[in-house]
Structure 1
Amino acid sequence: MDPELLWSQTEGPRRGRPPAHSRAEITAEAVAIADAEGIGAVTMRAIASRIGAGTMSLYSYVPNKETLLELMVDHVSGDHRLPPGPSGDWRADLRRLAREQRAIMRRHPWLPAALHTRQTLGPRTLTVLEYALGALEAAGLEAGAGLEAFSLLTGFVAGHVSYELAQEQATVAAGRTSSELQDAQARYLQGVALSGRYPRLAAALVSASASAPEDAGPDAAFERLLDRMIDGLTAGGAAST
């Protein structure tokens, strides 16, 4: 895939009749299909059916599904609602960014997996990256390290959302409530701890139980892990606030 061809060249005017559709329209329809039915349901035939076009005609706008996926990822990056620039409180800025990422990935469950196959960065994604790099400057990170930190933060959020979604799907498949499954897991681990075969795990479970916060829901869990992640991003060479 040629990123210059994909992002630097806008859809120009054509001779003859004006185009009946646009790349943006096709991308938006693809996102709607993926949100409702999963990424596997996104085909040129399905999109063509939704917009009332011939399947083959869509290839003049988007040459293949790989390109379409790049367009989809950048399209949903536009869902970020970030301020024009960092506040100067880099931890608060990164928390805000990570929360935005999590919300977007949960609205578009196909996105975490799509990020692993993305080959290039589109204009909306670059805007988010610019915000993150500005925030990380206040943490004392030079630009190269800032790029790595942004990648690590995004990877953390994508992995966490993938886990959340998988757990929710498992709960539905099991036909039990989340609390019922958590209680069953707790009973199992208690038995494991009492067996004496895993003393370090037993100690960790005791410690976790003693320090468990009152709010142990998914949002609180994300916030705790996010704080650990942010601490690790700048360990050993950046300023702390």
Structure 2
Amino acid sequence: MTRQDGADANGTDPQKLWLSPGNRGRGRKPAFTREAITAAAVSVADAEGLEAVTMRRVASEVGAGVMSLYSYAPDKETLLELMVDHVSGELPTAEPLTGDWRTDLKAIGHLQRALMLRHPWLPAALYARRSLGPHALAFLERALAALRPSGLDGAAKLEVFAQLTGFTATHVTHEIAQAAAARAPERAAAEARYLAAVAADGHHPELAEALSTPGSGRLLTPEATFTRFLNRLIDGLDTDTDTATATETGTGTRTD
């Protein structure tokens, strides 16, 4: 829900947040910068998770009083917006594109995965984000440029990028959970025994066939697994169907 002044229900005005950053009022020079406060919050989240990020904790990290932080970030939701854009600045945006949009989109997916693995809290934070900061916008611009040769219209390009980001965030969340489970081998062994028993009970023939397929139990590296799923996602995109659907519904962009 957005108010008439541009702020959402939590009072965050994206235009004020991103286009008029910082405390520019007259008087004494601020003791801290928004960048330093955001970097401190990111460090806490990297080490201990999003739950550990509180205004009090961040204030303690930078040696400030809690109340002084509110001039930089009025609430945790705003701080989260700043954190997401801060780490988005790690994404490269200047390298030349190949011109093969599928290849370039796959490279973007791998860059997103690497960023999310460096900052395991990021997938969850992306779902709560309400606006795009300058670093996120720069990476979106790169993705849209990569998709230009696809022939998709603007709306479809945005949908593809959102689909890619959502897929990557979901996969990384699962990947992190799997890595944690691997640190408890007895649990993994118990799960394997359970699935074997279910497959043998005669009530799940499709599962039994899938598990009996040669190679179904082979272990791939996390990178290889992600690459396989990513290739299926991007290679399966049908730009002709998207264009035809847009034309039929009147939402396509005319090229004549």
TM-score bracket for this pair, using the shorter chain length: 0.7 to 0.9
Moved more, 67-76 or 212-221: 212-221
Aligned to 1:102: 113
CA displacement, residues 161-181 of structure 1 (integer Å, 9 cap, x when unaligned): 111112223344xxx33xx65
Q: Which residue of the partner structure matches residue 6 of structure 2?
A: none
Q: Where do residues 51-200 of structure 1 align in structure 2 (5 Å cutoff)? A: 51-172=62-183, 176-177=184-185, 182-200=188-206
1:235–1:189 distance in 2 versus 1, CA, 3 Å: farther
| Amino acid across the alignment from 2:179 | E
Indicate conservation of the 8 Å contact 1:78/1:125, yes or no.
yes
Which deviations, in whole Å up to 9, do the C-alpha atoms of 1:15-42 show, x marking residues without a partner? Answer: 2221111111111110001111111111
- Please name the residue that 2:8 is paired with: none
Normalising by structure 2, we get a TM-score of: 0.83
Find the aligned partners of 1:140 and 1:215 in 2 and give their Cα distance.
38
Render the CA deviation track for 1:90-129: whole Å, top value 9, x for unaligned. 1221111111111111111111111111101111001111
Q: Counterpart of 2:238?
A: 234
Bigger RCO of structures 1 and 2 (CA < 8 A, at least 6 apart): 1
Partner Cα separation in structure 2 for residue 226 and residue 183 of structure 1? 28
Q: State the AA in 2 paired with 1:205.
A: L
Output the TM-score relative to the length of structure 1.
0.87
SS of 1:5's partner is helix
CA RMSD, 1 decimal? 2.2
Gap regions ≥5 residues in structure 2: 1-11, 244-256
Q: How many pairs are equivalent?
A: 232
Q: Paired residue for 1:206, among 180, 196, 212?
A: 212
- Provide the C-alpha distance between the structure 2 equivalents of 1:57 and 1:138, rounded to a whole number of angstroms: 49
* Identical pairs, percent: 53
Partners in 2 of 1:193 and 1:12 — Cα distance? 63
2:250 corresponds in structure 1 to: none
Structure 2 CA distance for aligned equivalents of residues 182 and 85 of structure 1: 43
Question: Which residue of 1 is the match for residue 226 of structure 2?
Answer: 222
Distance 2:111 2:63 in 1: 34
Aligned residue identity for 1:191: A
Rate the CA distance shift 1:150–1:144 in 2: closer, same or farther, 3 A. same
Matching residue of 2:7: none
1:15-26 to structure 2, matched below 5 A, reads 15-26=26-37
Question: Is the Cα contact below 8 Å between 1:30 and 1:47 reproduced in 2?
Answer: yes
- Counterpart amino acid of residue 102 in structure 1: R
Partner of 2:42: 31
Spell out, residue by residue over 1:192-218, the C-alpha distance to the aligned partner (whole angstroms, 9 max, x if none): 2222211112222233xx245976121
**Mapped partners of 1:136, 1:153: distance in 2:** 12
